[in-house]
Amino acid sequence: MSEEVKPESVSLYSVSAAATPEQEAVCIFGTGDLGRSLGQRLLQSGYRLVYGSRRPHSCGPIPPGAQVMSHEIAARSASLVFVCVHREHYDFLETLAPHLKGKVLVDVSNNLKKNMYPEANAEFLQRLIPGAHVVKAFNTLSAWALQNGPSDANRQVYLCGNSPEAKQAVAEIATKLGFNVQDRGSLSAARELEDFPLQLFPEWRLPMRLTIGLTAFFFFYLLARDVIFAYVDQGKDNSFRIMVSLANKVFPIVSLILLSLCYLPGVIAAFLQLYRGTKYKRFPDWLDRWMLCRKQLGLIALALASLHVLYTLIIPIRYYVRFRLAANTISQIKENKTSVFDTTMGWRTDSYYSMGVLGFGLYLLLGIASLPSVSNALSWREFSFIQSKLGYLTLFFCTFHTYLYGWDKFLFISSFKWYTPPGYMLCLVVPSVVLLLKLLLLLPCVDKSLTRIRQGWERTDPEDDSKKSLLAKDCQKL
């Protein structure tokens, strides 16, 4: 709920500075904003701090307690150097190479865009000074966190580097500063770390685009059918329906389609494996990418389903609904009709609501199981039980809910305004196909073959002798 939270332990740590005077020195190259922020935090955690600067006597304000020296002298006084300099100015470091030999160089730099340079900043630095042990670290944190210590999304420090000892040294400092350290392997992971702060939900992009596209399509489709048709055909102004009635049609329709798109790639993959007779062949790229965003598709579908639930539950307090109900009652009295309770209607509507409630309940369960801390506590078998078995059950409930909603409307010509089918009919296509295909896969004979293939068995066709050698290459890419 907050942008920036200052940790409560700041005051404490500044006290601890005095308590551990034997603390070793660290060096920071660069007295810019980043260097200053990091320096302040290091001083608060009890480190002795030396700044290296090109102009040690006119470098602007530095945190009190730190010294400023020339790069050479500063480098000599510490075994660990933070390089808080923009990549464009790395060149000057080359001249310092002899003084940096055997030292740990921490690259904290980020770029403004992805792919600005052919190699990662940290790898470039390592190439400039081959004798030093370069460690990429701290770059994923905000300047605020570097200055004030960890908070909320700023607890993790990712690091990578080729020297385990150098990484250990940096990890110790990060731990002392209050962060959680996660080792991401060798320096070749630096590019990944440098791209990390630039990313804004990359894995959500494709699903979001799909959602926006589907939502826009169904919005205009239903606008034409529900509002414009009424206006053209009967001259009735139904436009107020956009806010609730239309939204409450678009959201469930898109939600159901997205939910079924979660399960479609798994079904396609299964049929592909059955057809190929092996699991060692790579899936087509589009299928791979589709499978990678299933979690996101499911969560967006859950969000839309939740909106559908809220929009449904406010129906009875809407002015329009109350007006219509009262008007109905009044017209019944005036015409002196006595309407009879229709048990079939009672069964149908109650089943329809019940399916919806149960489907949404299960869906919430799936969502909760997707929370990182919950899914980490599950064993693999438990996780796949929830996401696969309960997932298909959810899809079934939601699809059945929609069928009950439709009931026999498809028999009446008045449903097909302007010869178009109602929205709910369109949205039933994909889920019905997914459920049918899944049913096929559950047939004992099909299920048995698939299980064998997934356990590593391969079908070898007599005419296809060259397959094995091909396989080996496929494996590599998988």
Query: Which CB atom, from 26 or from 75, has the smaller least distance to a copy of itself?
Result: 26
User: By CB under 8 A, what part of segment 363-402 binds a copy of itself?
Assistant: 364-366, 370-385, 387-388, 391
Q: How far is the CB of 136 from a copy of itself (least distance, A)?
A: 13
Query: Which CB atom, from 234 or from 455, has the smaller least distance to a copy of itself?
Result: 455
Q: Which of 90, 122, 92 is nearest to 107 (CA)?
A: 122
Query: Which CB atom, from 20 or from 95, has the smaller least distance to a copy of itself?
Result: 20
Query: Which CB atom, from 391 or from 423, has the smaller least distance to a copy of itself?
Result: 391
In the list 97, 116, 127, 156, the residue contacting a copy of itself (rule: CB under 8 A) is 156
In the list 323, 407, 410, 418, the residue contacting a copy of itself (rule: CB under 8 A) is 323
Asked if 320 interacts with a copy of itself (CB under 8 A), we say: yes
- Separation of alpha carbons 332 and 423, rounded Å: 31
Binding region for a copy of itself (CB under 8 A) out of 93-101, 134-142, 222-230, 439-447:
134-142
Contact string 197-236 vs a copy of itself (x = CB under 8 A): xxxxx-x---------------------------------
Binding region for a copy of itself (CB under 8 A) out of 93-101, 213-221, 344-352, 440-448:
344-352
Asked if 2 interacts with a copy of itself (CB under 8 A), we say: yes
Q: Spell out the SS3 assignment of the chain.
A: CCCCCCCCCHHHHHHHHHHCCCCCEEEEECCCHHHHHHHHHHHHCCCEEEEEECCCCCCCCCCCCCEEEEHHHHHHCCCEEEECCCHHHCHHHHHCHHHHCCCEEEECCCCCCCCCCCCCHHHHHHHHCCCCEEEEECCCCCHHHHHHCCCHHHCEEEEEECCHHHHHHHHHHHHHCCCEEEECCCHHHHHHHHHHHHCCCHHHHHHHHHHHHHHHHHHHHHHHHHHHHHHHHHCCCCHHHHCCCCHHHHHHHHHHHHHHHHHHHHHHHHHHHHHHCCCCCCCCHHHHHHHHCHHHHHHHHHHHHHHHHHHHHCHHHCHHHHHHHHHHHHHHHHHCCCCCCCHHHHHHHHHHHHHHHHHHHHHHHHHHHCCHHHHHCCCHHHHHHHHHHHHHHHHHHHHHHHHHHHCCHHHCHHHCHHHCCCHHHHHCHHHHHHHHHHHHHCCHHHHHHHHHHHCCCCCCCCCCCCHHHHHHHHHHHC
Query: Which CB atom, from 70 or from 375, has the smaller least distance to a copy of itself?
Result: 375
Binding region for a copy of itself (CB under 8 A) out of 98-106, 130-138, 187-195, 417-425:
187-195
- Separation of alpha carbons 311 and 324, rounded Å: 18
Query: Which CB atom, from 357 or from 443, has the smaller least distance to a copy of itself?
Result: 357
Contact string 433-462 vs a copy of itself (x = CB under 8 A): ----------------------xx------
Query: Which CB atom, from 52 or from 391, has the smaller least distance to a copy of itself?
Result: 391
User: By CB under 8 A, what part of segment 21-40 binds a copy of itself?
Assistant: 32-33, 36, 40
In the list 91, 165, 234, 317, the residue contacting a copy of itself (rule: CB under 8 A) is 317
Asked if 318 interacts with a copy of itself (CB under 8 A), we say: yes
Query: Which CB atom, from 272 or from 299, has the smaller least distance to a copy of itself?
Result: 299
In the list 73, 268, 272, 358, the residue contacting a copy of itself (rule: CB under 8 A) is 358
# residues contacting a copy of itself (CB under 8 A): 149
Asked if 473 interacts with a copy of itself (CB under 8 A), we say: yes
User: By CB under 8 A, what part of segment 268-307 binds a copy of itself?
Assistant: 280, 288, 291-292, 294-299, 303, 306-307
The position carrying tokens 């603390």 is 23
User: By CB under 8 A, what part of segment 256-275 binds a copy of itself?
Assistant: 262, 266
Binding region for a copy of itself (CB under 8 A) out of 80-88, 128-136, 146-154, 429-437:
146-154
* Residue 360 burial (10 A CB sphere; 0-12, 13-18, 19+): buried
In the list 72, 232, 233, 351, the residue contacting a copy of itself (rule: CB under 8 A) is 351
Asked if 63 interacts with a copy of itself (CB under 8 A), we say: yes
Instruction: Measure CA 144 to chain center.
Output: 24
Query: Which CB atom, from 317 or from 445, has the smaller least distance to a copy of itself?
Result: 317
